[in-house]
Chain A
Amino acid sequence: AQTVTQSQPEMSVQEAETVTLSCTYDTSESDYYLFWYKQPPSRQMILVIRQEAYKQQNATENRFSVNFQKAAKSFSLKISDSQLGDAAMYFCAYRSETQGGSEKLVFGKGTKLTVNP
């Protein structure tokens, strides 16, 4: 079974600075997707960024970028120019396919990001 590990329960960053959140995963599959989701106090999971495993190029979305190391099974998220609104729980997730073709997400335990003014 696939597992996702986020080794940093909490991180903090100064406003306008850069922070990197770590994620490792374990899988025997060669094709899969990886995601970073943000969960603010409103509780809604918001997609931050997505990476297809077959793509060697790291995904970027404005201030958010990833460092995808397939061989090392590592998928870190870099937030540049941190803003107060970035404060939230961040979850790394792996998309797996269960029997019958469904697609489920396997989540890590999350990293709580605090942004200090």
Chain B
Amino acid sequence: ETGVTQSPTHLIKTRGQQVTLRCSSQSGHNTVSWYQQALGQGPQFIFQYYREEENGRGNFPPRFSGLQFPNYSSELNVNALELDDSALYLCASSWRNSPLHFGNGTRLTVT
């Protein structure tokens, strides 16, 4: 059974740039969620995708967008990066009522 994998592991971007983070869901999981974890904080829900449609969104501006592909993998895109976007971005997959299975995250640093 393949777990949730995220890429890249680390990323450094400049304020104003755009970034794309990638996530492969665990085998058999059709739902993907993205979370932002600032340093010293708990993760915050960004949005969730189910069958290629956004299925819920947290309190994040529209410059945070996503995609889910037919193989259930997903991307998180962030436009016009701000310094406060520096964080660990966690992807999690699930199926029906199962608990979320998380990846190791992508550490994004915005300078």
Contact = CB atoms under 8 A, between A and B. Distances in A.
Contacts of A45: 43, 90, 92, 100, 102
Main secondary structure of the interface of B (DSSP, over half): strand
Contact of A104 (B50, B58, B99, B101): B58
A62 interface: no
B103 A44 contact: yes
A53 to B, nearest CB: 13
Interface size class of B (residues with CB under 8 A): 20 to 34
A98 B42 contact: no
Interface residues of A, number: 25
Interface string B84-110: 000010101010000111111101000
Interface string A44-61: 111100100000000000
What 4 pairs across the A-B complex have the smallest Cβ distances? A102-B56, A107-B42, A98-B56, A45-B102
